[in-house]
A and B are shown apart, each in its own frame.
Chain A
Amino acid sequence: MKKVKGRVALMAFVAIALSLCFTAVYAQKTENKIVIDGSTTVGPIAKAFAEYYMGKHPEVNITVSESGSGNGAKSLVNGVCDIADMSRFMKDKEFQAAVENSVFPVAHVVAMDGLPILVHPSNPIRGLTVEQVRHIYTGRITNWNELGGPNLKIVKVSRDTNSGTYETFEGLVMNKEKIAEDTEYVGSNGAVRQRVQSTQAAIGYAGLGFVDRTVKALEVNGIYPDQQTVTSGRYPIARPLFMFTDGYPKLGSHLHAFVTLHLTEQGQEIVESIGFVPVTSY
């Protein structure tokens, strides 16, 4: 009798557990969900927007991943995410793949970004020209003393080829020349900052939002990267930051409200607080 009782109790427990799981899964499906994936540069903006939006609308669930602009585009094409954060525009082939998959990418420019050239705070150099930066990264200039700095071999840090930041740098600075073989590649903007702040002879590039007191941003062609110079276009290494959706989101839906957040005053305050440049001067 005891054996049977025990067995019945076990089966009842399993049945209840399974039904709870199913209701949880089913509940997830009918709730409002927004899945965001993509650039590590736009990621902080998406996360801050998500926090603000979920605070105002608690029934919406927004998840943000940062696996690189290329991965974000892939996820949008495959229908895995609703919004693809990208720090560069979609390439022809990505657009083609999207259309073939019946996905029609629409770009929303959520902020402007500059690519500051970062060095260690102890580095005495104040500024470089775009050409000098290019010569450093192609390996023509190898020591800081060639530029008036200390006698140290330059440690070049670059973003990995997955990233939109890398593509922007390659397009605006490298001018089709090859990056030197001994350049170090790291996986995120945060990692670039971490390498530069702990290595005296390092030089790297990241997003404008990643400049803080632990690293020093150089003047490029005499212009210091900050919000005014990036919006006005005077800073030579600047780019727009995108969020791509599949078609224009339905008016009044949560997705629509989310991707137009950057046009509201609140949204632009958030963008500014992260360190990027809002699209309008509100």
Chain B
Amino acid sequence: MLTTPRPQASSIQRPGLLLSERATRFKRAGSLAGRGMLLIITSSSAIAVLFIFAFIIRDALPFFRLEGLRELFTSTRWYPSREPAEFGALAIFAGSGLVTLGAIVVAVPLGVAAAVCLSDLLPFAVRQWVKPIIEILAAIPSVAFGFFALVVFAPLLQAQGGPLLALACWIIGLPLALLGTTVVSDLAAGKLPERLRQPGQVVSFLLLAAASLATLHWTASWLGGLSISSGTNALNVSIILGIMALPTVVSVSEDALQAVGRELREGSYALGATRAETLVKVVIPAASSGILAAIILGVMRAVGETMVVWMASGNAAQIPDPWFNFLEPIRTLTATIAGDMGEADHVTGSSRYHVLFALALCLLTFSFTCNLVSEWASRRTRRKLA
């Protein structure tokens, strides 16, 4: 390995070790040392991650040794400062899960739709302007979002919550209803014989439109009648987290859609597909792994966010009454760690200090798993398209 007779152009594989026969042992050792140094430097980031894991595990294990696994994951009573202390974090896990779910519901449809628009629908000149604007959202500091959520959005939800939700229902529901009605009536009329197709389409469109508008109206008036007693709740945080995760989802989805390449799209058009058919049946399925990776990155962003949830989620360690009731305050893992860190001194309160590391370990494991899955997903895209 260290000696190669005469270097030929076709056989040069590792030029670093390709020293001629006349190279002294000193030179070879020097070359090896150089490569070793470079290896250490480039792997320093991986080593840092390992060290982070190691230190968090080291400080989390004492909690599990003192209190065991059962209470943390099954009890909902979180009273770390009482004597005797109770460390039931199930409500906190549920809170994190709830706001992440809400953030995904906000960010994914909006983000994937924006990515599809950016990559396939908008003219190039418009795209050059819109993409930087979406990426500005990622540059806004999270504490600014949290401040907005606490000082502006929460009182707004309390004062005008019902009407606001009704308005959102109309804004989101109307285009979706029109789109859905058109598509479904088109498909339904396609089954009719040739002569009846045109009037059949009109009739079914009108019927479906009437039905969907009636449903929207009923939903909106039900939402409008709701009164939100506390504006710092899961809904507030979900919306803000969704907006924060949006740039990530859009960027990565758009990269995945771009990576599909022109050949696939041109082939589809050449076979006579419409733009909608190309998008829905060819491009998006081809980019699906990349879009999955984008969603997972959005999840990681939402789970790890601290400032916004600490300021605007209410920090109540409870599971809301029906679990999907977004109008109740909840508490997340990140806010618990940030909020309780001050009092939990490793000298003055042992379990109370170590439980925070146990929660951090759960967060870290979850993020790590998400990262691995997203890596696997994007590797699948590359292999599929290559």
Contact = CB atoms under 8 A, between A and B. Distances in A.
Nearest to B344: A70
Nearest to A184: B314
Contacts, number: 89
A181 B343 contact: no
A185 B315 contact: yes
Contacts of A239: none
A199 B230 contact: yes
A32 interface: no
Most B-side CB within 10 Å, residue of A74, A77, A94, A184: A184
Contacts of B77: 178, 181
Contact of A184 (B76, B230, B343, B348): B230
Main SS at interface, chain B: loop
A198 interface: yes
A194 B158 CA distance: 13
A4 to B, nearest CB: 30
How many A residues are at the interface, by size bracket? 20 to 34
A97 B353 CA distance: 15
B345 interface: yes
Given A91-B348, A93-B348, A187-B311, A181 B342 contact: no
A161 B318 contact: no
Nearest to A185: B315
Interface residues of B, number: 36
A91 B150 CA distance: 33
A155 interface: yes
A100 B345 CA distance: 14
A201 B229 contact: yes
A251 B80 CA distance: 42
Contacts of A96: 347-348
Contact of A162 (B339, B347, B349): B339
B232 interface: yes
Interface string A152-176: 1101000011100000000000000
B247 interface: no
B342 A184 contact: no
Interface string B240-279: 0000000000000000000000000000000000000000
B195 interface: no
Contacts of A183: 316
Interface of A: 67-68, 70-71, 74, 77, 91, 93-94, 96-97, 100, 152-153, 155, 160-162, 178, 181-187, 191, 194-195, 198-202
Which 5 pairs show the lowest CB-CB distances between chains A and B?
A93-B348, A70-B343, A185-B315, A162-B342, A198-B155
